[in-house]
Amino acid sequence: MSHLFGIAIESLVAILLMLTIGYCILLNARLKRLKADEHSLKATIAELITATEIAERAIGGLKLTCVTSTRISATSSRRRARCRSN
């Protein structure tokens, strides 16, 4: 009787070990996918940073253009006013 009890315990341990190994294989596959997604996400973030820097430079250029055109417009308005007064 105790011999059957020992075999039953060892069988249960073997089944639990097989389940553990199967779960570890499943987790390993999930970790590989997560790692691949991490690399993809890092590449996307790098592209976004580059695009943001380009946009910031473009905005700076637009602001400079706006200031320049405002100055030109003001100068032109003053010249027109002088011409009218003469």
Domain range list for the chain: 40-86
CA-based radius of gyration for the chain: 37
pLDDT bin (cut points 50, 70, 90) of residue 10 is very high
pLDDT one-digit tens code per residue, 21-77: 999 999 999 999 999 898 889 999 999 999 999 999 999 999 999 888 888 877 777
pTM of the model: 0.52
**Average of per-residue pLDDT across 10-28:** 97
Give dist(CA 6, CA 8) in Å, integer: 5
Sign of the C-alpha dihedral, residues 19, 24, 30, 33? negative
Per DSSP, 1 falls in state -
